[in-house]
Amino acid sequence: MAVLRRARHVTLRDGREAIVRSAVPGDAGRLRRLIDAVAAEPEVTLLVLPGQFGASAWRRRIADAAADPHSLLLVAEVDDRIVGNLGLRPDPHLCSAHVGTIGMSVGSTWRGVGVGSSLLEIAADWAHGHGCRRITLSVFPHNTAAIRFYEAKGFVREGLRRGQFMRAGAQLDEVLMGRQLDESFVWTALPDGGG
Sequential DSSP letters for 154-182 = T-EEEEEEEEEEEETTEEEEEEEEEEE--
Structural domains of the chain ordered from first start: 8-133 (3.40.630.30)
pLDDT of residue 4 exceeding 70: yes
pTM, two decimals, is 0.89
pLDDT at site 43: 87
**Predicted confidence band at 45 (pLDDT cuts at 50, 70, 90)?**
confident
| 10, 79, 94 from 137: Cα distances, Å | 24, 29, 19
- Which tens digit of pLDDT belongs to each residue from 73-104? 999 999 999 999 999 999 888 888 899 999 99
pLDDT at site 99: 93
Rounded CA-CA distance 102/159 in Å is: 16
The one-letter amino acid code at 69 reads P
Rounded CA-CA distance 149/133 in Å is: 21
pLDDT at site 186: 58
**Predicted confidence band at 14 (pLDDT cuts at 50, 70, 90)?**
very high
- Which tens digit of pLDDT belongs to each residue from 110-153? 999 999 999 999 999 999 988 899 999 999 999 999 999 999 99
pLDDT at site 92: 86
